[in-house]
Structures are given as C-alpha cells and as structure tokens.
Amino acid sequence: MQSLARSIVLHGKVETTLAKAKAVRPFVEKLITLGKKKDRRAQRLLASRIRDKNVVKKLQAELSEQFATREGGYTRIRRTGFRQGDGSEMALLTLVKK
C-alpha cells in the first residue's frame, strides 16, 4: 500500500489491478488531506505512514497548493482493460488535475 501511494504521489499516476486501485485510493486521499495541514503534527503523521521524506515534502508543498480549494476526490480510477497473463482487470489511478 505504501509503495503504490508513494508512486501515485511522485509520478501522478500508476497502473495496477482494479482491486489494488480501489484499496489504495482512500489511503492516498487521506494522505493528501493530511498534507493540506501544514503543521508539525501532520508532517510527523505523514512521515510515519509513508516513510519517505521526498513524498512528505511533495504532499505538503506541491499537492497541498494544487488541491487547496478542493474538499475531496483527489484521485480518479479509469479501467484500462484486462491483463494478458491472467486476465485481471487493470486500472489507471491518477491524481485529478484542475
């Protein structure tokens, strides 16, 4: 869960199975909401949940400004088809742009 959330924050999108996308979506949304609070407590909570300083900085600097006026719904899941090997349904989890 942490690695998927890290990839979404750093790259803005990740392609994974639909089940994993649905599972990681609330985790990422809570991280972004927590990143919008720019106090020391929020920074420590983010660091304990992600354990990557670059991601914490990006959440509190860039993404907090990008989603400052938005109340929720920071991510979008788009179905992309089926994986050829085992037939799992794939999805693209992206951050919503303005």
Q: How do the pLDDT tens digits run along the chain, 98 residues long?
A: 899 999 999 999 999 999 999 999 999 999 999 999 989 999 999 999 999 999 999 999 999 999 999 999 999 999 999 999 999 999 999 999 86
Distance from C-alpha of 13 to C-alpha of 3, rounded to nearest angstrom: 12
Q: What is the pLDDT of residue 38?
A: 87
What topology does CATH give the domain 2-95? 50s Ribosomal Protein L17; Chain: A, (3.90.1030)
Q: What is the pLDDT of residue 43?
A: 93
Predicted TM-score (pTM) of the model is 0.90
Sign (positive/negative) of CA torsion 55, 41, 23, 75? Answer: negative
All structural domains of the chain with their residue ranges = 2-95
For residues 48-86, one letter each, b for 16 or more C-beta atoms within 10 angstroms of the residue's C-beta and e for the rest, the string is ebbebeebbebbbeebbebbeeeeeebbeeeeeeeeeee
3-state secondary structure of 14: strand
